[in-house]
Structure 1
Amino acid sequence: MSWLAWARRALPWPRITIARWIALTTLAAMLSLLLLKGLFSLVMSVWAQPPLLESGLIEKFATVTRMLDAAPVAQRTTLASAAGDASYRVQWFRQRDESGLPAWVEKDSHKGAAILRELLHRQQVQIEVFGPEDMPAQSAPRGYALLIQLSDGSWLQFHVLDRSWGLDELPRNVIVLVLMMVSSLAVAWFAARYLADPLERFTVGARRFGKDFNAPPIPVVGPHDLRQAILAFNATQAQLKHFIDDRTQMLAAISHDLRAPLTRMRLRGEFIEDAELQAKLFKDVDEMQAMVDAALQFFRDDARLEQATAFDLGGLLLTAVDDYKDAGVDVGYSGPQRYVYVGRPIGIKRVVVNLLDNAVKYGREPAIQLTVDAEQIVIRVLDRGPGIAEHLQEQVFEPYFRIEGSRNKDTGGVGLGLPAARAIVLEQGGSMTLSNRPVGGLEVKVTLPVG
C-alpha cells in the first residue's frame, strides 16, 4: 500500500477528484516555490555567506579606520557618519560601552582578522566581530557588527545589515528562477503521475478487453471520479461477459432445436415418390440448413471469444493464399513475409478467407496486400469484378442484405459473411471499408491497430 493510500484511509480527508487534485497541485506548487525561495534566502544569508572579515569590505574598513585614527577627536563623529555607504554604517565611540554591544567572547580567529591587522599596520589592535546571534535581542535590525579599537583607546563600529555572498543580482535571480522551475516541475510530475498512471491502466485495460473478453477487471485506483468510471467499466465488462456466456448457451440450445426438425423433414422427404417434388423439398431443406448454420455462426462466432495472442500475420496470410492455390485458384500476395502481431489469429483468418471467397466468387484476379507502419497494419483484398455501387457499400454490412444481380442462392451466401467479418474486425479495435478500384473491381480495406 502506498503512503498516499495509507494516509487517505487513516485521515478523514474529503474525496480527491480530478478538479480538486488540480487545485491542490496548484496550491502545492505555489507553497513549494515560497518554501524554496525562503530556504534559499536563509542559506544564502547565513550559511553560504563568508565571514564578515572576508566579505570584500575589509579594505574599506581598514581605510576608514586609518583615516579616523589620524583625524582630530572633535571631527571623528562627523567623519564616521560620512564614511558609511549603502552597504555599511560607521560610528565612533569614546568608550566601548557606548556601542551597546555585549561583551565579546573571543572566537576562532578568522583569516580576515590577520589581513585587517596587516592593513592597519597594528598587530596588537583589538578586533571584535559580532553576528546576528550575538547582537542584543532588542536591537533592530540586528545585522552584523565589527568593533576596532583605535590607538587612543576609542572605538569604531562598522554595522552591516547584509553580507554579500559572492554573486551579483542577476546570477542570484537566475538561481532562484531555476530552483522555482525545478520545484514546479517536481510537483507537476508527481501530480501528473498520480493522474496518468490510473488513466494509462484504464486505457490498457479497456483496449485489452476489446481484444479479450476474458480480460481481468481494471484495478480501481486514482481520483474519486476516475475510480467511479473504472468501477462502471468493470461492471459493464462483467455484464457483457455474463451476456456472452448466456448467449452462447442459448444458441447451443437453439442450434440443436432447429437442426432436429430439418433432419426430420429430410427423412420424411425420402418417402416422397415424386422425384421432382422431392428434389425441390431437399433444395429448400438444404437452403434452410445453410441459413440456420450461417445465422448461428454469425451470432455465436467463437472467434469473437478468442483470446489475443502473438502470431505471425504474414505467415497466416501466406497460408491462406497457399490454400487457394492448392484448390486451383491463383491469389496474388504482396507485403512482408513475416510480421508478429498481437490479436486473434482465428478471427483474422476467418475475415481474410471470407473476403477472399467473395473476391473469387464475384470477381477475378483476387489478390491480398499487407502494409505495416508504426501505428497500424492494413490488409487489402482486391479483385477485378464488377465492384459495388457507392450507395450500397455501407448497406452490404447489414445482416441478410444481398445485392441483386451479383449474388443469388446458387452462388451461396445469405448476406451474413461481410457483417460477421466486420464485427470481428471492429471487436479488435479496427475498421473495414469498401471502395471501387480505379482500374475496375473492389478493394476491401481492413485496418487493425498496433499495440
Structure 2
Amino acid sequence: MTSLRTRIAILLILAIVSVVGLATFAASRALRPPLPQATMEPLARQLHVLARLAQADRQAALAAGLVLQAAPATGREEMGMTRFLNRALERTGTARKAVITRSPDTPVLTASVDLGNGEWLVSDVPDMRPPPGGWKIMAGWIALIVAGSTAVSLFAASKITRPLELLEGAASRVDSDGLLAHIPEEGAGEIRATARALNQLSGRLKSAMESRMRLVAAAGHDLRTPMTRMRLRAEFIADEEEREKWLADLEELDAIADSAISLVREEVGEHGSEPLKLGYLVRGLAEELRDLGYNVSDPPLASLPVAARPIALKRAIRNLIINAATHGGGARIELQARDGLAVVTILDEGPGIPQDLIGQVFEPFFRVDMARRKTLPGAGLGLVIAKEIIERFGGTIAIANREPRGLIQTITLPLANVG
C-alpha cells in the first residue's frame, strides 16, 4: 500500500470506476421507464374506447378480438397501478372501476375494466419495469468494470513507475567504490533517458573519485620531500626538548601521509581475491601484535574460509586490533561462523565513543577527543581503510558501544569454499 505503483494503480482504479459509475447513473436516469402517471392516461383513453365499443356492439367487439368475461382477470392485484388507472379513467372520461393484476404464471400485467353489465373488459397492459434479474446484470457490469480498470491501472502504473524502478535498481547495485553499474539504454524514451543520465552520472562520479585519489596521492607523496628536509634541520636543534617536539610532529605528519597513500592504494588497487582461512590469518596477526607489545588475546583456532586478498585483509584487521589495543587497553578476539558468514569480533574495555558520535567513526581523520591526538598515535584513517577493504570483499564492519564500557568491532565476511 505504501509503494508508488500501488498508490497510482488505486488512484486510477478509483478514477475509472467513479467515471463509469457516474456515466451509468446518468444513463439509468436518462433511460428509466416513464412514470405511471405519464403512461396511465393514454392507456385509460384506449380502455374507454374499447369499453364503449364493447357496450355498443358486443359481437363486433368479440370479432375484433376483445376479451369479455364475467370476472376480472385472476392474479395478484397491483395496488399502486390500479389506483393510478382508476384516477386516469376518471380524468379522461366516465369513471369506471378497473383492476390491474399480475398473473402468477407470467410477468404480464392485465387490466380488467367493469362494463357495468356483469361483464369485464380484459386487456393486456405494457410493463415498463426493468427486466427481472436487473441487479445481477448491474453487479456483473460493475464487476467487469472493476476487473478491467484494475488490469488497465496496474499496467499503466507499471509503465509510469518504470523509470523509478530503474533508479531503485541502480541504487541497489552501487558497488563499494560508490559507483553505479552500467545500465542498458533500451526501452521507452523516458527509460532510455533515465538510464543515459545514470550512466553519465556514474562516469562523472568515477572521474571525480579518480581525480580525488590522484590529488591525495600526489599530496602525500609531495609531503615527503619537505618533511625530510625539516627532519634534517630538526636534528640540528640544540635544545633537546624542542628537538623531540619537532621530531614527534614530523612523525605524525609522516603517519598521515603514509595513511593517505595507503587509502588511495586500497581504493584504486586490484579488486581480485583468493581463498584463505580467516581464522589462521587472525591468529597470526594476534601473535605478531603481541610480539610488538600490544595487549591482544589469543583467538580460538578456527578455519573460517573466505575469499579476499591476504595482504589487504591483514591490513584491515590489523588496524582494528591496534585500535582496540591502543584506545581500549587491550583487544579480545572472538571467531565464529554464523548464517553463512565468518564473524570476527574485537572487544575492548576502553572508554567507548559518545553515542552521538558513533555514526562518525568511519569519517577520515575522525577523533573522539582532538586533545588526545598528541598522546595517542595514529592519523585517523585506520578505520576508513579497514572499511574500504572489508566492503570490497563483500563484508561489513560495525562498531558499537558495550555495556558497561568498551567497544565491540564486528567484521562479517561471506564464507567460501577453500580448496
Matching residue of 2:332: 366
Cα deviation for residue 186 of structure 1 reads: 0.9
Is 1:435 the equivalent of 2:401?
yes
What is the rounded CA distance, in whole Å, between the counterparts of 1:401 and 1:254 in structure 2? 22
Q: Is the 8 A contact 1:368 1:380 kept in 2?
A: yes
Provide closer, same or farther for how the CA distance between residues 331 and 391 of structure 1 changes in structure 2, counting only shifts above 3 A.
farther
**Count of aligned residue pairs for this structure pair:** 318
**SS state at 1:322 partner:** helix
Q: Is the 8 A contact 2:335 2:342 kept in 1?
A: no
**SS state at 2:173 partner:** helix
Among residues 234, 244, 267, which one is paired with 1:303 in the alignment? 267
What is the RMSD of the two structures over their aligned residues, measured on CA atoms?
A: 6.0
Matching residue of 2:47: none
Among residues 321, 338, 349, which one is paired with 2:282 in the alignment? 321
The share of aligned pairs that are identical, in percent, is 26
Provide closer, same or farther for how the CA distance between residues 74 and 217 of structure 1 changes in structure 2, counting only shifts above 3 A.
closer
What is the rounded CA distance, in whole Å, between the counterparts of 1:346 and 1:198 in structure 2? 42
Cα deviation for residue 422 of structure 1 reads: 5.9
Cα deviation for residue 178 of structure 1 reads: 3.7
Matching residue of 1:54: none
Cα deviation for residue 222 of structure 1 reads: 6.8
Matching residue of 2:163: 198
Provide closer, same or farther for how the CA distance between residues 400 and 296 of structure 1 changes in structure 2, counting only shifts above 3 A.
farther
**1:132-174 deviations in whole A, cap 9, x for unaligned?**
xxxxxxxxxxxxxxxxxxxxxxxx999999998xx95565455
**1:217-276 deviations in whole A, cap 9, x for unaligned?**
57486796x88776665444332212112223333433443334445667x6899799x8
Cα deviation for residue 205 of structure 1 reads: 0.6
Matching residue of 1:253: 218
Matching residue of 2:207: 242
Cα deviation for residue 183 of structure 1 reads: 1.5
**SS state at 1:209 partner:** coil
Among residues 216, 219, 241, which one is paired with 2:182 in the alignment? 216
Q: Is the 8 A contact 2:333 2:347 kept in 1?
A: yes
What is the rounded CA distance, in whole Å, between the counterparts of 2:187 and 2:125 in structure 1? 63
Among residues 320, 323, 344, which one is paired with 1:355 in the alignment? 320
Tell me the amino acid that sits aligned with residue 399 of structure 1.
F
Matching residue of 1:13: none
**SS state at 2:400 partner:** strand
What is the rounded CA distance, in whole Å, between the counterparts of 1:158 and 1:429 in structure 2? 86
Q: Is the 8 A contact 1:347 1:424 kept in 2?
A: yes
Provide closer, same or farther for how the CA distance between residues 395 and 27 of structure 1 changes in structure 2, counting only shifts above 3 A.
closer
What is the rounded CA distance, in whole Å, between the counterparts of 2:323 and 2:14 in structure 1? 60
Among residues 254, 258, 268, which one is paired with 1:289 in the alignment? 254
Tell me the amino acid that sits aligned with residue 244 of structure 1.
M
**1:347-369 deviations in whole A, cap 9, x for unaligned?**
88765442222123333342357
Cα deviation for residue 190 of structure 1 reads: 0.7
Between structure 1 and structure 2, the one with the greater Rg is 2
Matching residue of 1:207: 172
What is the rounded CA distance, in whole Å, between the counterparts of 2:65 and 2:326 in structure 1? 120
Q: Is the 8 A contact 2:176 2:391 kept in 1?
A: no
Tell me the amino acid that sits aligned with residue 413 of structure 1.
G
Q: Is the 8 A contact 2:252 2:377 kept in 1?
A: no
What is the rounded CA distance, in whole Å, between the counterparts of 1:379 and 1:271 in structure 2? 44
Tell me the amino acid that sits aligned with residue 297 of structure 2.
D
Cα deviation for residue 289 of structure 1 reads: 2.5
**SS state at 1:293 partner:** helix
Tell me the amino acid that sits aligned with residue 185 of structure 1.
T
Is 1:383 the equivalent of 2:348?
yes
Q: Is the 8 A contact 1:431 1:447 kept in 2?
A: yes
Provide closer, same or farther for how the CA distance between residues 296 and 310 of structure 1 changes in structure 2, counting only shifts above 3 A.
closer
What is the rounded CA distance, in whole Å, between the counterparts of 1:345 and 1:158 in structure 2? 99
Aligned ranges for residues 20-99 of structure 1 at < 5 Å?
Answer: 76-77=66-67, 87-88=107-108
Cα deviation for residue 442 of structure 1 reads: 1.6
Provide closer, same or farther for how the CA distance between residues 384 and 26 of structure 1 changes in structure 2, counting only shifts above 3 A.
same
Structure 2 spans left out of the alignment, 5+ residues: 1-6, 25-61, 74-98, 112-122, 291-295, 414-419
Cα deviation for residue 22 of structure 1 reads: 8.9
Q: Is the 8 A contact 1:434 1:443 kept in 2?
A: yes
Q: Is the 8 A contact 2:286 2:299 kept in 1?
A: no
What is the rounded CA distance, in whole Å, between the counterparts of 2:323 and 2:203 in structure 1? 36
Tell me the amino acid that sits aligned with residue 184 of structure 1.
S
Provide closer, same or farther for how the CA distance between residues 316 and 175 of structure 1 changes in structure 2, counting only shifts above 3 A.
farther
Among residues 375, 378, 399, which one is paired with 2:365 in the alignment? 399
Provide closer, same or farther for how the CA distance between residues 195 and 273 of structure 1 changes in structure 2, counting only shifts above 3 A.
closer
Q: Is the 8 A contact 2:173 2:180 kept in 1?
A: no
Provide closer, same or farther for how the CA distance between residues 205 and 260 of structure 1 changes in structure 2, counting only shifts above 3 A.
same
Provide closer, same or farther for how the CA distance between residues 273 and 405 of structure 1 changes in structure 2, counting only shifts above 3 A.
closer
What is the rounded CA distance, in whole Å, between the counterparts of 1:163 and 1:311 in structure 2? 80
Aligned ranges for residues 180-195 of structure 1 at < 5 Å?
Answer: 180-195=145-160
Tell me the amino acid that sits aligned with residue 282 of structure 2.
V
Provide closer, same or farther for how the CA distance between residues 184 and 256 of structure 1 changes in structure 2, counting only shifts above 3 A.
same
Q: Is the 8 A contact 1:306 1:344 kept in 2?
A: no
What is the rounded CA distance, in whole Å, between the counterparts of 1:84 and 1:73 in structure 2? 26
**SS state at 1:211 partner:** coil
